[in-house]
Structure 1
Amino acid sequence: MALKINMATSMDPSMSWKKTIQMRIRRRNEKESIPFKALFETHLRLANQIEASRSQNVQLHVQVERLQQENTDLQSKGLSSPGPVENVGKGSAAYRQLEQKCFKLNEELTDVHRKKGENAQQLIDLTALLKTKESELQKNEESLNEALIRVGAYEDEIRNLEMAVLELRKTNEDLRDELQNMTLLCSKNEESLYRLQAENAELVTRVMDEKGRDADILNSTNAIIQEVLNDKMKKALEEAASETPTPMPEPKSSIGEGRKLLRPGSMSASTLSRAPSLPPPVSFVMSVPDKNIAQFEAHDGEVHTVKFCPSGAFFATGGADRKLKLWEFLNNSCQNSAVLFGSNLAVTCIDFDDQENLILGAANDCTIRIWGTHDHRLRQTLTGHSNKVLAAKFLSDPNKFVSGSHDRTLKIWDLRSRACTRTMFAGSMCNDLVTSDGAGTNIISGHVDKKIRFWDARSNARTKEILLNGKVTSLDLSPDRQSLLACTRDDALKIVDLRTNQVITSCSAEGFKVACDYTRAAFSPDGEYVTAGSQDGSIFYWKAKNGEMEKQIKDHKGPVICVSWHPSCRQLISCDRAKNVILWADF
């Protein structure tokens, strides 16, 4: 019978655990010992009686044997002496007396045997009962030991719980104090919040007023610019109408005069209006552009990108001051012809459509903006990327372009619907991209994970990948669209044959170090040279066929970020982190 202990119900809170155990032991004795005390006493008494009966039985056996011996002796005496036999015959009184005595002794012996058997059976029963009780007692002792062990464990647990309660009380007090402090702080913060909200509302109102005034100023400026452009165009048309046709010069004189590619007045309104219909300039490359013919500070911060327009009549720059500027070369200096506003963060990439009607600017504010090249007005602002946009290029359709962002996606946009039409998930941040065909269906992108990825824009499928040795910072296509130039952070330019997708030429030099993750390298328009800027302000030229370094020039005071070739191959424009832009020429 197992001892069951219920600590929650049986323990008197006023008693100690020792008194509780003593009380439980007494209760156990009352249940298991006292009811069997009479049984043990009876068993002891019967055992004593059995022992007395045994001794009495032994005495009776001795007495019976003695009487039998006496009887035998008497019988022998009777047979030996005939006279007295008659006196001890069956009918004599002595014989009857002996016979009765023997009968009584036999009865007593029988009673003794019967009592002995009963006592033996009772002893067997009591022995079995005793063994049962001893077994129960042993089980109860084991249960008691287990209960004592559990009691010890419960006591340890109680002590641990008491310590935990004390810790919780202390923690609770600390939390109450912290809650009071936080409540006070929250009240102060709410007061500050209300005050800041009021200030914010006032600032928003002021900003909106300022924006309204800026918009009015911008509209007035655009109107003035439009009037000036109209006047210039009118004068140019009048001059063109009054000019007399001149004969075409000989090729020799063309070579001599061809050195003046960006000449004064080349950025006039009439030039812009006629630029798309002009034939491409003829290239008479004698050497790489290595003479600094114009150097100026283009922006209020780092100059991130620079690019010639397709006709080469002017170029554009974009910088950390959130502005995109148009420049023309007049009177042996570069003059700012327009400033395009609208970007909220640094401009990172510039591109022109083939007709030079639109100029595209990607920025770190996750947007791409489109301006008009002639009226300089902001046409569209396209949002959809979730991180800065470092690359964007027009497709063959001037109403479509593709962009690559650090949100690990490439997006194709439609200017007519003003929305993203397709999204391609690259899985890595995109630093630059190009289109390898005229239709713009094949897109090549360079990524931070050192891979160049090829895409089919019609199916959004990735067709192949090329792994290089460093992060890809820029891509450029050769004029024949058979080779791809990749600038990587392992301080080398790689030329990839797009027919075999193998690196065929590697261009590097002592002292050449790629400055940042958006350093731009470029093919020359004739495909003979590749060039890139370095960390120390140098510009390096290599031969595209064999990777041999042609020349190193240095006039920049800061790391060179971007270079762009003039379509004639006679000039190069470069920009750096020190706000400067340099126009290079070979004459």
Structure 2
Amino acid sequence: MTESDPVSRARSAEAWKRHIVGQLKHRDRSQHDRYQELIRFYTRLLEKTRLTKGILSSSPRRPSVGSLLQHNDQLKKITGELAYQVLELQQQTRTRESLLEEQQYRLEAEKLRLAGAFDYRGVLQQQVEQVQLENAALKTKYDELLELQRREEAKLREEKLRGDRLLETMIQEKQQAAAHMNSRNQRRSRAREAHLQKELQSTRSKVTLESSRSMSPKRDLQLESREGGHSRLFRSLSVSSPRILSSFRDLFHRRRRGHSVCSMEEDLVFPVRVSLYARVPVRALQVLEAHEQGINAVRFSSSSHLLATGGTDREVKVWEVQSGSLTHRTTLEGSTGGITCIEFDPAGFRILAASYDKSALLWRLDDSVAKLTLTGHRRKVTAARFSGCLHQVVTGSEDRSIRVWDLQRAACVEVLEVSSSCSDLVCSENSVISGHFDSRIRVWDTRLLRCVQELPAQGKVTSLDISSDHRHLLSCCRDDCLQLVDLRGRSNERVCFRAEGFKCGSDSSKAVISPDGCFLAAGSADAAVYIWNVSTGKLETRLPDRHSSSISAVAWSLSGEYVVSVDKSRRAVLWSDI
């Protein structure tokens, strides 16, 4: 109980007294009203009696017996009426008294109920006070937690700034180390070339001397008249030049013993099996749940025997394509974010992937652990491609930059700043073509390291693809249009492809050109694959009813046999004309 309880009890007692006085006044008024009519009749009776007495007393002569009898009859009649009225009034009085007793009983019951309500009100007031105390304690605790959160957020911001500074410092150190490595490699290369030139000159003199001693003057004159001096020299070298052969052998052995992240088998150039005739798919051969979450990217290898998929579950899965079915081969791990783009190297030994975790990763097919991680972008990496050079890759990011990486040094060698986020890119000989969110396609010269041309697009660019002969560029835009650009001339003739029902599903939807360049394929938000004929510009076919959500990417095998489409509900579908 609190100190305010006596005061509240005194106030409640005064209110109770006022309530009782009011009830008494009300009862007095009600009872007075009930007997008022009886009193009025009684008063009239008294007045009539007085009047009769006055008449009798004022009469000058003695009344006769008949008049008295008549007067008595009138009095009896009046008295009977008054008595009957008295009885009726008494009956009404008893009825009202019983009603009053019932009301008093109900009043007592209401008083008891009111007393219980007052008691319950007191209990509720105590509960309210207790809840208020608890709320005050919780408010104090909440204020403490809020202050702790503010301090932790300030620490987090400081740690982020510190991490950014450390990252910038690390990038600068890597750039300095790369520049130092470049200069050292250049010095070594120049020294090696000078040494080889020196050995070549000494070998030339020795071979010339030996050949001059072994040949007769007549044979020398015939060779000199038949061939030039250089031809004669190289013919001699091809016959006997053990020192030069050993020099070249040592050079290749030294290269294999270096610290490069690429092996000799990866340096070899393998022929790419490109079909001269791509077959338009007509039915689904296989439908499978390829990932645990949505799939963002899909790509065939150059041999068309392997397929790679990557999704938001941070995994890259490799599948074998055999006899019209997909068989899981291996899972490549190491990314801490969702996969946005996948590409095989030309030889088919490595896989490059771009990730949401601001990096690009490189795997060998025989190792599930990432061999190399390229870090330096400030936002998610949306595209990663092998360039024309054997040991270079190019990445594009939402941080409005394009970076060129040297795989041998695992370092960034060039940074191209752009005014808009990069959504996708493709590489051609001595050039990089990038698509951006500002509805622009930019062509970069890797030798000049600058943008040499800008092509307008119909909307925000979501993907790019280049034909196998590097003559045509395909762009997919958010305005639900595919645009095919002719790269051979300066006019860059463009053709747009649309279809009723086709809708670009996201900012990363990917479309492809068939290996023979005759067809275009893209997935739509209505869960169907649309294929256009390039020569006619019309829709060739529509493949529905196999996906349950928006299709994010499509891949066409270089053999021309298969098409694979993936969607946001982790489903992959293998299509063919078989």
Q: 1:80-119, aligned counterparts within 5 Å?
A: none
Instruction: Indicate which of 337, 340, 353 corresponds to 1:361.
Output: 353
Take 1:423 and 1:277, find their aligned partners in 2: how far apart are those partners?
Answer: 27
* Match of residue 490 from structure 1: 479
* Match of residue 569 from structure 2: 578
* Match of residue 480 from structure 1: 469
Take 1:333 and 1:326, find their aligned partners in 2: how far apart are those partners?
Answer: 13
RMSD over aligned Cα, in angstroms? 2.8
Write out per-residue CA displacement over residues 541-563 of structure 1, whole angstroms, 9 at most, x where no aligned residue: 11122321111111211111111
Tell me whether 1:375 sits opposite 2:367 in the alignment.
Answer: yes
Instruction: Indicate which of 508, 513, 516 corresponds to 1:523.
Output: 513
Take 1:444 and 1:282, find their aligned partners in 2: how far apart are those partners?
Answer: 22
Distance 1:331 1:352, change over 3 A: closer
* Match of residue 57 from structure 2: none
Tell me whether 1:543 sits opposite 2:522 in the alignment.
Answer: no
Please report how far the alpha carbon of residue 412 of structure 1 lies from its aligned counterpart in structure 2 after TM superposition.
0.3
Distance 1:291 1:426, change over 3 A: same
SS of residue in 2 equivalent to 1:476 = strand
Distance 1:303 1:509, change over 3 A: same
Please report how far the alpha carbon of residue 330 of structure 1 lies from its aligned counterpart in structure 2 after TM superposition.
4.7
Write out per-residue CA displacement over residues 132-186 of structure 1, whole angstroms, 9 at most, x where no aligned residue: xxxxxxxxxxxxxxxxxxxxxxxxxxxxxxxxxxxxxxxxxxxxxxxxx999977
On the 8 A contact 2:396/2:425 being kept in 1, the answer is yes
* Match of residue 457 from structure 1: 446
Take 2:368 and 2:141, find their aligned partners in 1: how far apart are those partners?
Answer: 55
Take 1:347 and 1:561, find their aligned partners in 2: how far apart are those partners?
Answer: 12
Please report how far the alpha carbon of residue 482 of structure 1 lies from its aligned counterpart in structure 2 after TM superposition.
1.2
Please report how far the alpha carbon of residue 389 of structure 1 lies from its aligned counterpart in structure 2 after TM superposition.
0.8
Please report how far the alpha carbon of residue 397 of structure 1 lies from its aligned counterpart in structure 2 after TM superposition.
2.6
Write out per-residue CA displacement over residues 16-38 of structure 1, whole angstroms, 9 at most, x where no aligned residue: xxxxxxxxxxxxxxxxxxxxxxx
Take 1:316 and 1:586, find their aligned partners in 2: how far apart are those partners?
Answer: 21
* Match of residue 564 from structure 1: 555
Q: Please tell me the residue identity of whatever aligns with 1:510.
A: E
Distance 1:373 1:192, change over 3 A: same
The runs of 5 or more residues in structure 2 that have no matched partner are 1-137, 154-264
Take 1:278 and 1:184, find their aligned partners in 2: how far apart are those partners?
Answer: 68
The runs of 5 or more residues in structure 1 that have no matched partner are 1-180, 197-272
Instruction: Indicate which of 291, 297, 301 corresponds to 1:305.
Output: 297
Tell me whether 1:340 sits opposite 2:332 in the alignment.
Answer: yes
* Match of residue 542 from structure 2: 552
Write out per-residue CA displacement over residues 288-339 of structure 1, whole angstroms, 9 at most, x where no aligned residue: 0122011101111110000001111110000000101101135753221111
Q: Please tell me the residue identity of whatever aligns with 1:511.
A: G
Take 1:564 and 1:187, find their aligned partners in 2: how far apart are those partners?
Answer: 55
Take 1:510 and 1:191, find their aligned partners in 2: how far apart are those partners?
Answer: 56
Q: Please tell me the residue identity of whatever aligns with 1:520.
A: K
Please report how far the alpha carbon of residue 398 of structure 1 lies from its aligned counterpart in structure 2 after TM superposition.
3.2
On the 8 A contact 1:505/1:545 being kept in 2, the answer is no
Distance 1:584 1:422, change over 3 A: same
Distance 1:192 1:372, change over 3 A: same
Q: Please tell me the residue identity of whatever aligns with 1:576.
A: D
Tell me how many residue pairs correspond in the alignment. Answer: 329
Q: 1:307-326, aligned counterparts within 5 Å?
A: 307-326=299-318
Q: 1:401-412, aligned counterparts within 5 Å?
A: 401-412=393-404
Distance 1:461 1:332, change over 3 A: closer
Q: 1:42-53, aligned counterparts within 5 Å?
A: none
Distance 1:490 1:356, change over 3 A: same
On the 8 A contact 1:350/1:359 being kept in 2, the answer is yes
Take 2:152 and 2:515, find their aligned partners in 1: how far apart are those partners?
Answer: 60
Distance 1:190 1:323, change over 3 A: same
On the 8 A contact 1:505/1:544 being kept in 2, the answer is no
Distance 1:517 1:476, change over 3 A: same
On the 8 A contact 1:575/1:581 being kept in 2, the answer is yes
Please report how far the alpha carbon of residue 192 of structure 1 lies from its aligned counterpart in structure 2 after TM superposition.
7.8
Q: Please tell me the residue identity of whatever aligns with 2:556.
A: W
On the 8 A contact 1:285/1:570 being kept in 2, the answer is no
Instruction: Indicate which of 424, 428, 431 corresponds to 1:436.
Output: 428
* Match of residue 37 from structure 1: none
Take 2:570 and 2:499, find their aligned partners in 1: how far apart are those partners?
Answer: 26
Q: 1:69-468, aligned counterparts within 5 Å?
A: 280-281=272-273, 283=275, 285=277, 287-330=279-322, 333-437=325-429, 441-468=430-457
Please report how far the alpha carbon of residue 454 of structure 1 lies from its aligned counterpart in structure 2 after TM superposition.
0.7
Tell me whether 1:508 sits opposite 2:498 in the alignment.
Answer: yes
Q: Please tell me the residue identity of whatever aligns with 1:448.
A: F
On the 8 A contact 2:527/2:547 being kept in 1, the answer is yes
Take 1:527 and 1:475, find their aligned partners in 2: how far apart are those partners?
Answer: 14
Take 2:448 and 2:377, find their aligned partners in 1: how far apart are those partners?
Answer: 20
Distance 1:339 1:545, change over 3 A: same
Take 2:532 and 2:411, find their aligned partners in 1: how far apart are those partners?
Answer: 41
Instruction: Indicate which of 513, 524, 536 corresponds to 1:534.
Output: 524
Take 1:191 and 1:535, find their aligned partners in 2: how far apart are those partners?
Answer: 45
Write out per-residue CA displacement over residues 250-286 of structure 1, whole angstroms, 9 at most, x where no aligned residue: xxxxxxxxxxxxxxxxxxxxxxx99x88754473747
Take 1:487 and 1:193, find their aligned partners in 2: how far apart are those partners?
Answer: 45
SS of residue in 1 equivalent to 2:371 = strand
Please report how far the alpha carbon of residue 395 of structure 1 lies from its aligned counterpart in structure 2 after TM superposition.
1.1
Structure number with greater Rg is 1
Q: 1:9-88, aligned counterparts within 5 Å?
A: none
Take 2:282 and 2:490, find their aligned partners in 1: how far apart are those partners?
Answer: 34
Instruction: Indicate which of 459, 479, 482 corresponds to 1:470.
Output: 459
Take 1:310 and 1:501, find their aligned partners in 2: how far apart are those partners?
Answer: 32
Please report how far the alpha carbon of residue 195 of structure 1 lies from its aligned counterpart in structure 2 after TM superposition.
11
Take 1:355 and 1:423, find their aligned partners in 2: how far apart are those partners?
Answer: 27
SS of residue in 1 equivalent to 2:569 = coil
Take 1:189 and 1:412, find their aligned partners in 2: how far apart are those partners?
Answer: 45
Q: Please tell me the residue identity of whatever aligns with 1:567.
A: L
Please report how far the alpha carbon of residue 502 of structure 1 lies from its aligned counterpart in structure 2 after TM superposition.
2.9
Q: What's the % identity of the aligned pairs?
A: 37
Write out per-residue CA displacement over residues 8-54 of structure 1, whole angstroms, 9 at most, x where no aligned residue: xxxxxxxxxxxxxxxxxxxxxxxxxxxxxxxxxxxxxxxxxxxxxxx
SS of residue in 2 equivalent to 1:502 = coil
SS of residue in 1 equivalent to 2:351 = strand
Please report how far the alpha carbon of residue 287 of structure 1 lies from its aligned counterpart in structure 2 after TM superposition.
3.8
Distance 1:473 1:503, change over 3 A: farther
Take 1:362 and 1:564, find their aligned partners in 2: how far apart are those partners?
Answer: 17
Q: Please tell me the residue identity of whatever aligns with 1:586.
A: D
Take 1:318 and 1:390, find their aligned partners in 2: how far apart are those partners?
Answer: 13
TM-score (structure 1 length as normaliser): 0.53
* Match of residue 231 from structure 1: none
